[in-house]
Amino acid sequence: MAEVGKLLIPGVTVSKMKSGKKEVYYVYLPHRFERYLSHGKWSITAIVGEKEILIGLRSLYKHGNYFMLTLPISLKQIWEQYLGKEIDLILQKVS
């Protein structure tokens, strides 16, 4: 696995799942980036439209063959606007 400190992942689709009353917003990270990704904490910035939004520290999870990133529910209004649409992510590995 290659070790990178900062990574731009363009064009990930915002999705939502519901479990009872709980909603989770998430994105799958493209398989082609897997060699650069690892478990642990990442500082995440989303690029939506013309704005950069600091999401903060998040962990990546493996779901099947893909890494998945959950998005903070506190930014629900933004994720609802971009549901099914693509956003770009900047990931920076935290030591």
The pLDDT tens digits for 15-58 are 999 988 899 999 999 999 988 888 889 999 999 988 999 999 99
Q: How far from 42 is each of 17, 20, 23, 51, 88, CA to CA, in Å?
A: 22, 29, 22, 20, 15
Residue-wise pLDDT for 56-70, tens only, equals: 999 998 888 889 999
| Cα–Cα dist 75/53, whole Å | 10
Q: pTM value?
A: 0.88
Distance from the Cα of residue 9 to its chain's centroid: 9
More confident residue, 10 or 1: 10
SS3 label, residue 32: helix
